[in-house]
Amino acid sequence: MNSSTLDKISCFLAELLGTGILVFLGCMGCVKTEAFPNNHLQIVLNFGFAVLVAIQCFGCVSGAHLNPAVTVAAYIYDLVSLPMAFIYFVGQMLGAFIGYGLLKALLPESTFDVPNGMCVTLPHAQVSSPQAFGIEFVATSILVIVCCGVWDPRNSKHHDSVAIRFGLAVACLACAAGPFTGASMNPARSFAPALWNKNFTSHWLYWFAPLSAAVVTSIAYKAVFRREVVEAQITSDEKLRQMDDLS
C-alpha cells in the first residue's frame, strides 16, 4: 500500500473519529432533563470545547474539518481535491452517525425522551424559515471566515492555538444563534440526530444554509482578502556576505 493511499485512509479515519467526538461530546452536553439539569451557557461552552478536543486530536492529520461546509470551503480554497473532499464528507457523515449512536447506547433512555428528540436542531417556533435560513447562513459565513483566516498563507506561522480559536469561535456563534436555530452550522451535526430520532422537520435549512454560506464566503474571501506570501530568496553569496559582515 503506497503512502498516498495510507494518507487518504488516515484522513478518512481522522474525520470519522473527529466528527464522532464532536457529536458524542457535543450532544451529550445538550442533555437537559429534571434528573440532569442544564443551561444554555453550559451547552454552548461544551460544544466549543468538543470542537477544541477534536481539532487538537486530528488537526495535524486531516485539518479536522468535522463539517461538510468547512470541507466545501477548503475545496474552493484549493486545500483539498474533489475526490479528497468526498472522502472527508463520507468520514464526517459516518462519524456523526456513530457518535450519536454511541450516545443512544450509553445514556439513560430517559435523556432521549424530550420533545423533537435530543440534540435535534430546529428553528424556534417564533423564527420563520427565511429568518432561520439567514441566521444559519450568517453564522456559518462567520465560521468560514475564521477558517479562511487560519488558512491564509500570511497566517501560516501562527497555528499554535488553532484549536482554542475554533473552539471559542464555535462557542460564541452557538451562544448568539443557538436560541433561534440551534446554531448547527454543520450538516453532519444536524443529520445524525435527525436520522436517529426520525425527525427531519425543517431539516433542509441545515444543509442549504451552511453549504451555500461556505460557497459564497470562501469564494469572496479568496478573491478579496487572500494574498500569497513571497518568501525572500537569499542566495548563498548573500549569506556569505552577511557572515563576513557579522565577523
Q: What is the pLDDT of residues 13-22, one digit of tens each?
A: 999 999 999 9
Arithmetic mean of pLDDT, 61-88: 95
pLDDT > 70 in the chain, percent: 91
242 pLDDT tier (thresholds 50, 70, 90): low
Q: Can you give the residue range of the structural domain that contains 159? A: 3-246
| Cα–Cα nearest to 133, from 49, 238, 245, 213 | 213
pLDDT on residue 224: 92
pLDDT on residue 100: 97
Arithmetic mean of pLDDT, 87-99: 97
Intra-chain end-to-end CA distance of the chain, in Å: 52
pLDDT on residue 240: 53
- Over residues 25-55, the pLDDT tens digits come to 999 999 998 889 999 999 999 999 999 999 9
- CA 151 – CA 56 distance, rounded (Å): 16
pLDDT on residue 232: 44
pLDDT on residue 161: 84
Number of structural domains found in the chain: 1
Q: Helix or strand or coil: residue 43?
A: helix
pLDDT on residue 233: 45
Secondary structure (H, E, C), 203-232 = CCHHHHHHHHHHHHHHHHHHHHCCCCCCCC
Q: What is the residue type of 155?
A: N
pLDDT on residue 83: 94
- The answer, as to whether pTM is greater than 0.85, is yes
157 pLDDT tier (thresholds 50, 70, 90): confident
Arithmetic mean of pLDDT, 152-172: 86
Arithmetic mean of pLDDT, 81-93: 96
Q: pLDDT: is 12 or 246 the higher one?
A: 12
pLDDT > 90 in the chain, percent: 77
- CATH number of the CATH domain containing 115: 1.20.1080.10
227 pLDDT tier (thresholds 50, 70, 90): confident
Arithmetic mean of pLDDT, 161-178: 93
Arithmetic mean of pLDDT, 177-201: 95
Q: Is the pLDDT of residue 61 over 90?
A: yes
Arithmetic mean of pLDDT, 178-197: 95
Residue pair 44/178 in contact by the 8 Å Cβ criterion: yes
Q: Is the pLDDT of residue 234 over 50?
A: no
